[in-house]
Every structure is written in structure tokens, then in C-alpha cells.
Chains A and B, each alone.
Chain A
Amino acid sequence: MDFTEVPVKQDKKSKMKKTKKLKKNTTMEEGTAEGGPVEGKMEQTEAAETSFPPAFSLSDIKNKQRRHMMFMKFKQEKRKQKLQIRKKKKKERKALGDKAPPKEVPKTIENQRVYDETTVDPEDEEVAFDEGTDEFSAYFNGISNPKVLVTTSDRPHWRTVRFCEQLATVIPNAHVFYRRGLALKRVIPQCIARDFTYLMVINEDRKVPNGMVLCHLPDGPTAHFKVSSVRLRKEIKRRGKDPTEHFPEVILNNFSTRLGHSIGRLFAALFPQNPQFVGRQVATFHNQRDFVFFRFHRYIFKNEKKVGIQELGPRFTLKLRSLQKGTFDSKFGEYEWVLKRHEMDACRRKFQL
């Protein structure tokens, strides 16, 4: 058999080089008795090659039903393989016991975040001074107490009104007013005269609340947020009883950059500085991928280890659109930060807050 294999290899080589010569070779070797059967095999393989091109894929099947079937089969096989690998890994881990290598941390766009050079270092003197003397310093030094005016855009839908009312139960010392078609620039001086420290305006579009202007008084800054996925109290499942009038605690999560710090301070200054722990209520502003999630909970310590929480609502998500220096003046105001879409969010792993 060794003897027969040699000419085949030669044939293959010649085929690689010149296909025309191949025919001649086959005729030559047909005459020799030993080369005959080998040649037959070769022709078979050739035929197979022509029917299945080397880059075969399921999408080449023209029949839709057949293609679908094949695809399902392919999928199932893949899933089976995956499960097998997972089982095998689990077994290995069990067998190794304590010596097992630590589990790999999954890659998310948050832990792959691009480093932001404005990330605040808590020991930085200059930033500390800047924050210590900014517009919120009066609140943080305990000189002023928050007083919030909540209003809406003109002719609000009942849902927006309800949302405002519920926000006013979350924020202590908040007063809801009907807008009465007044311009914000005329409202602001009156607010300052009445010692309000915040003006909060909920804007709506097509009867759905979709924007929030949060203006710190008397001298700014003003933040403009997009509001989405608003859930009123009624729409939340397994919610607790209505909140009490105690001052809630405030949790601010993940506001790490310089801009994030300003926004965090803006939210913190909405609430009084001395929470009443008797109420056991917490307002949370959680920042994740530049979206700020607001939740309002009541907690209870069931025993030393277990804590129960109960959502009280409302629940909504904010996204910063712009931060403006000074009180609301969208035409002539100077902007400290403006969201520039397609320019800032070109990189999915870069976050601003």
C-alpha cells in the first residue's frame, strides 16, 4: 500500500499546481493496474468538494424550512456544549475545593470605564476650597435651611400634578404651586424674596412628565434633567404605606467626577441636614452610567443580620442635560456643562458623572 500512496501525493501536488495536467496523469495511471482504485477515491473527494464549498454556512441553504431546522439544531448543539463546559468547570471547582482559582469578574462597561481626569481626590486642597466656597456652602455650613417650590409647566396633566404632589411628600418643606402661566424669570425673584432655596419645575410633553429644571436659589446653579420611567405610588407593586413627615436620610451613590460632585451637592441640598431616624425613610440617588435613579424606601432592622425594605415611591430616572451657572436663564446664561450627543457619548465607556 505504501507504493500506491506515493503517486497520489504527487497527483495532489500536480493538481495544486496545474489542473490541466491532472487529466493527463489520470489517463497515464489508468493504464497501470495499481493506480486505478486510488484514482477512483480521488475523484470522489473531488466531487464532494464541488458540492460543499469550503466556506459553507447555514445561510447558503436555499430552502427556508430546512435552513431553519438546521439552524435550530446548530443552536441546540451549541447550547449543549456550553452547558457541558460549565458543568465540567463546576466539577473541577468542587474537586479543587478551597484551592480553586478565584472566579473571573465579568466585564461590564462600568468596570471598564475610561479614566476621567476630573475624578475628585478627597485630599485635594484646591477642589476642597472650590467646593467649600461654592453656592451650596451656605447650606452645608448650616446657615440656610432648604425650602423648595415645586411647580409644573403650563396646564399640566393630572399625572404630572400627582407626581409633583408625591415629590412634595418626599422632600420636606416643599410647596407645590400651580404655575398660572408665569415666566420662570419672573417667578425666581419672588421665590428669592420668600426665602426659597430651590425651584423645581416638572415639564411634560404629550401628558408625560419628561423634564426637570432644578434651580438653586439665590444664585444658581441650574440643572436641567431628562426625566424618564416615572412610576407613581399607585403603580408600584408591594409598596408600603404612605410616607411620614419625618426628614428622610439621603444616599448619594457614585458621583465621582467633579461634575458628579456638583450634581450630588445639588441633590443633597434639597433635603434638611439632620435626618429623623425615627421615620426610617431613605431617599436614594443612585448614579449608574450617567443615569440617576431615584428611589424612596422605608427600612426596618428585622434582627442583627436582616434588613427589610419597602418601597414607598415615587420612582423615576434622571439624566443630566446641562448644568448652568446662575439662576435659570436658558438664553443668556453661561453653561458649565452641556451634554453634546454624538460627541460626548461616542465612547460607551466614558461617563460624565
Chain B
Amino acid sequence: MGERSRLCSVWLGSETGILKGVSVSRKQAFNFCNTSHLSRDQEVRALCWMDPSQSELLVGSVDGNVKTFSTEKGEFTETRCCGDPADGCFVGLAAIGGSTVVTCAESGVLRVWREDSSEPSTELDAGKNVCRMRQSPIHPNKVATGGKENGLKVWDLEIPEKPVFSAKNMRDDWLDLRRPHWVKDMAFIPDSDKLVTCTGFHQVHIFDPSTPCRRPVLEAEFGEYPLTTLSLPSSGNTVVVGNTHGQIALLDLRKGLVRGCLKGLSGGVRGLQCHSSQPVVASCGLDRFLRIHNLEDRKVQHKVYLKSRLNCLLLSSQDLEIKGAEEEGSKNQEVKKEEEDEDEVWDTMEKVEEAGDKLKRKVVEIDVEEEVEDKDEEAPQPQQKKSEKKMNKKNKTK
């Protein structure tokens, strides 16, 4: 299991409670779960990395448990109960500094769990019907929440009493009717205080907490169906959004125009994540496929059928293609060598010598050939090289 899990560069949580790992370059998918007792209670709702080195995964399931999955060992190492099912399922999961876990449930209970304690160290109420909680990539203590009739709020976990920023509702429309709120997903824009949100009313909003204006700075619309998730690509100024009809679009954040749509999906998008360095975006959803699109030419690069509906998705920060390729190469040579290194040092020594010999021989051969070419004379030499020489001669005659 450990070997398998080390190969995987994409992690997915499914509705049937199975954690899936996909190795993109080898085009293989693995299930990390004992298939004997599957149950819908273990439906995976949230995934996040435990530490920046990405050796451990946090898996939030519907029954209120947070499991730790080690990618090195390829198995679940720890199960912790973080909240009861009455709170609703997890809408967000985050880790601070490799030990502290932040969980947020649908009912709006946001809890911070320190290591080795069954009681939450901090608890705050983010309001009802929370749809998503996200952590800031730069300040791990900052989280944002939002949901249905529950505007965007940014919290500092050290000041749990009051949100740092809370968005104001949109201005009434031209008929003087109130405009409803429904934040579905949000993201912190790196290198600035700004946040992007997408709503159930197919809008994309940008908020800027650094200004006194609490209403969105920019509003853009895409399509006519509720947007479900968004993600920010590594190259700035754009955002990728997905909706319930399986449409994914690239929106420009400067003017809010659609830059392009990604095709090929057949069902609603549930999870969307851009790679931290490459221009690719991975999407999963109700059509049971993992698709990886290139953001430059907007073509599907990979498409993997994973058998159950997928809820969430997590990419590792390593290069998607290279990770598998390295492993493939290593499977032939490096892994074996390492094992031998551990077992018997002398064997490897010999091997190194052999390699050296081979190199020398090659050098000698080249020399000989040159001599032959120069002098055109024959000296006593091993049989292998005679034929070569003959070849040389023939070449010369030609």
C-alpha cells in the first residue's frame, strides 16, 4: 500500500466513503480503504494536507470523524472525533502547523483542535447554513466562511469573538428588492487582502477587506446555473469556476470577463483545484470522472473513471507528470539499487566498478578505432572488436 500511495499525485474523496489516489502519469487509480465494510456514513466531505511536506492527509467524513492518512505508509494512522453528526457534515478542514486541526460543520460551528486533546481549544459560531470554510494560504490563522443567507466572514482564529471582516449584502436591485446571499465557495487571492467568492446565483464577487467598502468590489456572472466551487491558478488574474451543470470557465478577475470554458464534463462539479505551479486544473464531480485540463489550450489532458461520485479533491504540489515518471524510472533501477544499498554494500561496490569498467572499455574502443583509421594496421585484439574493424575497413573502401 505504501508504494502505491507514494505514486499518487491526486487524492479524491468519494460519496461511498472511499479515499482514492490517482497516479496521473501511470494512469492508475487506487482505493485506500478496506472494501469489506464500506458504508455511506464514511462519505468523505473534506480533504486537506496535514503539513506542508504533504506526507499526511486529513480526511473529514460525514459521521464527524477526522482520519489521518499517511501517504508514506498508505494507510489510516489515526481517527479523531471532531464534532457530532448533528452539526451536519464538514464543509471545511484545515491544518495549522502540522498538528492543530480546524474543522467547520454545516451548522456553522468552527472548532480548533489542538493535538492530543478531545476538547476543542477554540469554538466559534459562523452562522447557519455554512457552505464552505477555507484557510488563507499565507496566514494559516485566517479562515473565511460563508453560506446561504450567511455572507462572507473572515476570522482570525486568535480573536474568535468577532470576525475580522464581514461582507455586507449587495445593494437592493433596481426594483428595490433585497438580493439574497449564497456564498458557495471562496478563495484568498495571494499577494493581496482580496477574496473571491462564487455564489449560488451564478455570480463571482471580489471583496477587498483593506478598503472600507464591505460590498463586493467587482461582480461578474457566468452562465445561469449555481456555481459550486472555484480555484485560483498559479498565474494570477484569473479564477476557475465550476457549476452544477458541468460547465467550468476561466474568468478574468480584472474585468470579470469569461476567458474560456473547459469542455468535456457531463455532470455537476463538486471539487476543483488548480496545481500550485503547473497550468493545469483538476475537476471531479457527480459524473464520477476525474478530469485534468490544461489551462493554456483548455484541452482535457487526463480523464479517469473512478466508479463513485466524487466529493472533493486534493492535488499534491509536486509536478503531476514527473512524480509518476520518476517512480517509473526508479522502479527499474533506483529502487533496486537502494534496496541493495541497504542490504549489501559490497554488491553495489562491484556494480560501480563494473560500470567504471564499461566506461573504460568504451573509451578504449574509441581509441582503437581511431588508431585503425589512422594506421590501417592490425594488432592482436579481442574478437569482438575485429568485426568492428572490418566494418571500419569496409566503410573506408566505400
A interface with B by C-beta (< 8 Å): 117-118, 124-127, 129-130, 133, 258, 325, 331-338, 340, 343-344
Q: Can you name 20 extra interface pairs (CB under 8 A) apart from A126-B308, A340-B246?
A: A117-B305, A118-B288, A126-B16, A126-B38, A130-B15, A130-B16, A130-B308, A130-B309, A133-B16, A133-B40, A325-B268, A332-B244, A334-B244, A334-B286, A335-B286, A336-B268, A336-B286, A336-B287, A338-B246, A343-B264
* In the complex, B31 has a CB within 8 A of chain A: yes
The complex places the Cα of A198 from the Cα of B80 at a distance, in Å, of 41
Residue numbers in A under 8 Å from B40 (CB-CB)? 133
What is the chain A residue whose CB lies nearest that of B244? A334
A221 smallest CB distance to B (angstroms): 10
> Across the interface, do A124 and B266 meet the contact criterion of CB distance under 8 Å?
no
> Across the interface, do A337 and B266 meet the contact criterion of CB distance under 8 Å?
yes
What is the chain A residue whose CB lies nearest that of B200? A332
> Across the interface, do A337 and B35 meet the contact criterion of CB distance under 8 Å?
no
* In the complex, B307 has a CB within 8 A of chain A: yes
Residue numbers in B under 8 Å from A338 (CB-CB)? 245-246, 266-267
The complex places the Cα of A187 from the Cα of B307 at a distance, in Å, of 34
Residue numbers in A under 8 Å from B245 (CB-CB)? 335, 338
Residue numbers in A under 8 Å from B313 (CB-CB)? none
Closest 10 CB pairs of A and B: A334-B268, A336-B286, A117-B305, A334-B244, A126-B307, A336-B267, A129-B38, A335-B268, A130-B308, A337-B266
The complex places the Cα of A337 from the Cα of B269 at a distance, in Å, of 11
* In the complex, B239 has a CB within 8 A of chain A: no
What is the chain A residue whose CB lies nearest that of B16? A130
Question: What total count of A-B pairs have CB within 8 Å?
Answer: 63
Residue numbers in A under 8 Å from B286 (CB-CB)? 325, 334-337
The complex places the Cα of A127 from the Cα of B31 at a distance, in Å, of 13
The complex places the Cα of A258 from the Cα of B307 at a distance, in Å, of 8
The complex places the Cα of A133 from the Cα of B40 at a distance, in Å, of 8
Residue numbers in A under 8 Å from B35 (CB-CB)? 125-126, 129
Mark out the residues of chain B between 168 and 211 whose CB falls within 8 Å of any chain A CB in the assembled complex: 200
The complex places the Cα of A15 from the Cα of B379 at a distance, in Å, of 64
Residue numbers in B under 8 Å from A125 (CB-CB)? 35
Q: Which of A129, A332, A337, A343 contacts B267 (CB 8 A)?
A: A337
* In the complex, B83 has a CB within 8 A of chain A: no
Residues 262-306 of chain B, each 1 if its beta carbon lies under 8 Å from chain A, else 0 = 011011100000000000000000111000000000000000010
The complex places the Cα of A133 from the Cα of B18 at a distance, in Å, of 14
B20 smallest CB distance to A (angstroms): 10
Mark out the residues of chain B between 11 and 57 whose CB falls within 8 Å of any chain A CB in the assembled complex: 15-16, 18, 31, 35, 38-40
11 contacts between A and B (CB under 8 A): A118-B305, A125-B35, A126-B35, A127-B308, A129-B35, A130-B309, A133-B39, A334-B286, A336-B268, A336-B286, A338-B245
> Across the interface, do A337 and B287 meet the contact criterion of CB distance under 8 Å?
yes
Residue numbers in B under 8 Å from A331 (CB-CB)? 225-226
What is the chain B residue whose CB lies nearest that of A338? B245
The complex places the Cα of A334 from the Cα of B309 at a distance, in Å, of 12
A266 smallest CB distance to B (angstroms): 16
Residue numbers in B under 8 Å from A344 (CB-CB)? 266
The complex places the Cα of A190 from the Cα of B197 at a distance, in Å, of 36
The complex places the Cα of A334 from the Cα of B245 at a distance, in Å, of 7
Residue numbers in B under 8 Å from A332 (CB-CB)? 200, 226, 244
What is the chain A residue whose CB lies nearest that of B17? A129
> Across the interface, do B244 and A335 meet the contact criterion of CB distance under 8 Å?
yes
Residue numbers in A under 8 Å from B31 (CB-CB)? 126
A120 smallest CB distance to B (angstroms): 9
> Across the interface, do A130 and B287 meet the contact criterion of CB distance under 8 Å?
no
> Across the interface, do B16 and A129 meet the contact criterion of CB distance under 8 Å?
yes
Residue numbers in B under 8 Å from A333 (CB-CB)? 244
* Residue among A258, A334, A338 having the largest count of chain B Cβ atoms under 10 Å: A334
Residue numbers in B under 8 Å from A117 (CB-CB)? 305
What is the chain A residue whose CB lies nearest that of B39? A133
Residue numbers in A under 8 Å from B309 (CB-CB)? 130, 336
A130-B268 in contact given A125-B35, A258-B288, A335-B244 (Cβ < 8 Å): no
What is the chain B residue whose CB lies nearest that of A118? B305
The complex places the Cα of A118 from the Cα of B309 at a distance, in Å, of 12
A132 smallest CB distance to B (angstroms): 9
The complex places the Cα of A125 from the Cα of B39 at a distance, in Å, of 13
B385 smallest CB distance to A (angstroms): 53
Residue numbers in A under 8 Å from B288 (CB-CB)? 118, 258
The complex places the Cα of A334 from the Cα of B39 at a distance, in Å, of 23
The complex places the Cα of A126 from the Cα of B225 at a distance, in Å, of 31
The complex places the Cα of A130 from the Cα of B16 at a distance, in Å, of 7
Mark out the residues of chain B between 217 and 256 whose CB falls within 8 Å of any chain A CB in the assembled complex: 225-226, 228, 244-246
Q: Which of A130, A258, A343 contacts B263 (CB 8 A)?
A: A343
What is the chain B residue whose CB lies nearest that of A323? B267
The complex places the Cα of A126 from the Cα of B40 at a distance, in Å, of 12
What is the chain B residue whose CB lies nearest that of A117? B305
The complex places the Cα of A334 from the Cα of B247 at a distance, in Å, of 12
Residue numbers in A under 8 Å from B267 (CB-CB)? 335-338
The complex places the Cα of A125 from the Cα of B16 at a distance, in Å, of 12
Residue numbers in B under 8 Å from A129 (CB-CB)? 16, 35, 38
Residue numbers in A under 8 Å from B18 (CB-CB)? 126
The complex places the Cα of A331 from the Cα of B223 at a distance, in Å, of 12
A213 smallest CB distance to B (angstroms): 17
The complex places the Cα of A121 from the Cα of B245 at a distance, in Å, of 27
Residue numbers in A under 8 Å from B246 (CB-CB)? 335, 338, 340
B98 smallest CB distance to A (angstroms): 32
B223 smallest CB distance to A (angstroms): 12
The complex places the Cα of A47 from the Cα of B244 at a distance, in Å, of 73
The complex places the Cα of A173 from the Cα of B375 at a distance, in Å, of 103
A351 smallest CB distance to B (angstroms): 13
A185 smallest CB distance to B (angstroms): 16
The complex places the Cα of A245 from the Cα of B40 at a distance, in Å, of 39
The complex places the Cα of A335 from the Cα of B18 at a distance, in Å, of 22
What is the chain B residue whose CB lies nearest that of A340? B266
* Residue among B40, B225, B266 having the largest count of chain A Cβ atoms under 10 Å: B266
The complex places the Cα of A127 from the Cα of B309 at a distance, in Å, of 11
> Across the interface, do B268 and A127 meet the contact criterion of CB distance under 8 Å?
no
A134 smallest CB distance to B (angstroms): 9
* Residue among A117, A125, A338 having the largest count of chain B Cβ atoms under 10 Å: A338
Residue numbers in B under 8 Å from A335 (CB-CB)? 244-246, 267-268, 286
B169 smallest CB distance to A (angstroms): 19
